[in-house]
Amino acid sequence: MSGWLLSIEGTPAGHDVALGLALLAAVLHALFGALQKGRHDPWLSRAAIDACYGLIALPFALFLVPWPEPHMWPIFAGAVGIHIVYKVLQAMTYSRGAFTVVYPVVRGTGPVVTVLAAGVVFGERFTLGQWGGLALLSGGILGLGAWNYARLIVGRDTLGPALGFAVATGVLVAAYTTYDAYGIRATADPFTFLAWFFLLDSVFIPAVTFRRWRHLARDQVAPLLKRGLLGAVVAYFSFGSIMLATRLDKVGEAATLRETSTVFAALIGWLVLGEKVGAVRTGLMALIALGAVLIQALG
């Protein structure tokens, strides 16, 4: 698998595969976000997910992928540090604000900063048409948050700080996307980066939330662990897909395409949960989709 991926890196075939991987990441990211914001404490939800994907990563990291090169250990340290800050900000965001409002703010902020960061780190450049597409995509995502805010009935008293944390989380999304793209390009085997990243990244949140588990009712443990296992599987394919996409093709284009997750989240709510979409949300989702198409077509 690694050999085939490396053989198409930087080729038209690699671009097509990266496109498919970014779209897969968008679908799965919509599900992953919902798994972290539910009836459970978002800190414990994240802890359950991290613990599960660490246990899954352990045999892969130790026995199935090549051992990391010496220069990768400082890179892993930087990646884990960035993700720790991101997870703390994310948990603070979700614990203070309505998910339907703060999630679009996080996802709408991230792509703009990622494109700018990819320009500095990788020398990528968006065309004028792509910047127009990015404006439509991010504007549509933020518009969804504004629309949901206008209809919000409860939770407005803590929404101000939550929105501040949401913007900061979006900046960290851009930081980890760019840094991790650098990391996965720095190793010979991309699956080495993924396996060891998941293993090393799985320690912090379960450790700092250990005491919270003592106050959890017994009947809540099993559902939370099930959510953690499902979230771990989704995280592997979601994060793994976007990281492989950034190895195969441009970081900025892959990252912006992932943010169509807000569209997929709305579609899942409509098709699976029977939620009403309405004309305004449909129009905003059309803007997001159009922006993504322009970014890909005008590159």
How does pLDDT run across 66-105, given as a tens digit for each residue?
A: 999 999 999 999 999 999 999 889 888 877 777 778 888 8
Q: Residue 189 pLDDT more than 80?
A: yes
The pLDDT score that the predictor gives to residue 153 is 65
Alpha-carbon separation of residue 136 from 14, 91, 255, 294 (angstroms): 26, 28, 15, 9
The pLDDT score that the predictor gives to residue 67 is 96
On whether the pTM is more than 0.75, the answer is yes
- Looking at residue 23, its amino acid is L
The pLDDT score that the predictor gives to residue 216 is 73
> What single string gives the DSSP state of each residue in 11-55?
SHHHHHHHHHHHHHHHHHHHHHHHHHSSSS-HHHHHHHHHHHHHH
- Looking at residue 37, its amino acid is K
What digits encode the pLDDT tens for the residues 5-53? 878 888 888 888 988 999 898 888 777 666 655 556 777 888 888 999 9
Distance CA 75, CA 206 (A): 22
3-state percent breakdown (helix, strand, coil) of the chain, nearest 5: 85, 0, 15
